[in-house]
């Protein structure tokens, strides 16, 4: 049975979580009430603030009623919560940059308000991440160390690519690139979830490390094709316009996809090399 913990309410961790929940809720509300552009970037930001609120609230409630002590049987709770703080830091940072680039203008009070609120939320999650990483009593087995963090980065970059896709209609080569971007993302998320839930991982009839190697090799090959095809078919006969503001220029958004493609290709290559060689805590299948 769950038991309410009064000490949890008096901790700095609880206060930090409450601040994160409030800031993300207010940011979500201000963005929704003042403007509804329904651009993919706006929708992404709304999803991020909503998910950050829900995840932080669930973590807070579980710790408040000591339910998380039961979850220790199937997962490393400290590692999971630190990993969620790191992921939330990345996502809220990306939202801050997006709003600053796409929705800020001299007279856009709502744009400035949402950007500042998002930056505050990002700072709060960064504080939690820094606090957790400095706490020697907290364990770090996957998400909070290099192998898991690289997986988080891969999923994060892939999400930015997918919400930035534009200008591919009528171009089969670019449609293939979308497939190349889409296939590794669910496999990355599946790998993360499986490594978090240690009980499930131990019950699998196959080696998750061997599966990871195969998946990383496929991901590298897919991203190599995208890294070759996307810039060629996006920019061929499509020079950068003289008037190309960052907040509304299709060319700039296509450049973001190109840049992020090479970033994720590099991450997958590093992941593959480290995993195959067993470097920095990456496990290698026997």
3-state DSSP percent of the chain in helix, strand and coil, to 5: 75, 0, 25
Per-residue pLDDT tens digits for 80-130: 999 999 999 999 999 999 988 888 877 778 889 999 999 999 999 999 999
93-107, 135-149, 164-178, 196-210 — which is least confidently predicted? Answer: 196-210
Residue 150's pLDDT is what? 95
- The pTM of this model reads 0.90
Residue 151's pLDDT is what? 95
Per-residue pLDDT tens digits for 220-269: 999 999 999 999 988 887 777 777 665 567 888 888 999 999 999 999 99
**Is residue 118 within 8 Å of 96, Cβ to Cβ?**
yes
Percentage of residues of the chain with pLDDT beyond 70? 90
* Phi-psi domain of 91 (left: phi exceeds 0; alpha: psi -120 through 50; beta: other): alpha
Whether residue 168 has pLDDT greater than 60? yes
Separation CA 25–CA 54 (nearest Å): 10
**Is residue 275 within 8 Å of 284, Cβ to Cβ?**
yes
Residue 271's pLDDT is what? 94
Rounded average pLDDT over 144-171: 90
**Is residue 222 within 8 Å of 184, Cβ to Cβ?**
yes
Residue 21's pLDDT is what? 97
Instruction: Give, as one character, the DSSP assignment of residue 239.
Output: P
Q: How many CB atoms lie within 10 A of CB 83?
A: 25
Residue 170's pLDDT is what? 75
Q: How confident is the model at residue 43 (pLDDT cuts 50, 70, 90)?
A: very high
Per-residue pLDDT tens digits for 17-31: 999 999 999 999 999
Q: Looking at per-residue confidence, does 277 or 258 come out higher? A: 258
Residue 285's pLDDT is what? 44
Residue 181's pLDDT is what? 96
**Is residue 130 within 8 Å of 82, Cβ to Cβ?**
no
Q: Could you tell me which residues come within 8 angstroms of residue 255 by beta carbon, excluding any fewer than 6 positions away?
A: none
**Distance (Å) of CA 32 to CA 1, 36, 108, 118, 278:** 39, 6, 15, 14, 46
Nearest in space to 79 (alpha carbons), one of 140, 126, 147: 140
Residue 224's pLDDT is what? 97
As beta bridge partners, residue 197 has 75
Rounded average pLDDT over 129-150: 89
Separation CA 234–CA 81 (nearest Å): 40
Percentage of residues of the chain with pLDDT beyond 90? 51
Whether residue 149 has pLDDT greater than 50? yes
Read off the tokens for 85: 């703080």
Whether residue 209 has pLDDT greater than 90? no
């Amino acid at each position: 049975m769950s038991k309410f913990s009064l000490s949890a309410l008096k901790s700095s961790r609880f206060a930090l979580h409450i601040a994160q929940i409030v800031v993300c809720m207010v940011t979500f509300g201000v963005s929704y009430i003042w403007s509804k552009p329904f651009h993919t970037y706006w929708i992404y930001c709304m999803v991020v603030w909503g998910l950050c609120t829900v995840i932080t609230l669930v973590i807070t409630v579980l710790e408040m009623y000591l339910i998380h002590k039961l979850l220790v049987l199937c997962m490393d709770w400290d590692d999971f919560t630190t990993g969620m703080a790191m992921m939330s830091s990345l996502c809220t940072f990306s939202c801050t940059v997006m709003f600053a680039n796409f929705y800020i203008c001299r007279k856009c009070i709502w744009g400035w308000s949402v950007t500042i609120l998002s930056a505050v939320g990002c700072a709060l999650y960064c504080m939690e991440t820094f606090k957790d990483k400095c706490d020697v009593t907290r364990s770090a087995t996957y998400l909070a160390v290099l192998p898991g963090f690289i997986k988080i980065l891969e999923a994060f970059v892939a999400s930015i690519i997918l919400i930035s896709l534009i200008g591919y209609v009528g171009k089969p080569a670019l449609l293939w690139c979308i497939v190349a971007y889409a296939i590794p993302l669910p496999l990355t998320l599946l790998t993360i979830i499986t490594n978090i839930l240690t009980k499930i991982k131990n019950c699998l009839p196959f080696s998750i490390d061997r599966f990871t190697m195969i998946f990383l090799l496929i991901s590298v090959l897919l991203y190599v094709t995208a890294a070759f095809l996307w810039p060629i078919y996006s920019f061929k006969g499509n020079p950068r316009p003289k008037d190309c503001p960052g907040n509304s220029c299709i060319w700039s958004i296509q450049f973001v996809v190109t840049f992020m493609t090479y970033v994720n290709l590099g991450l997958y290559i590093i992941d593959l090399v480290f995993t195959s060689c067993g470097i920095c805590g990456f496990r290698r299948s026997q």
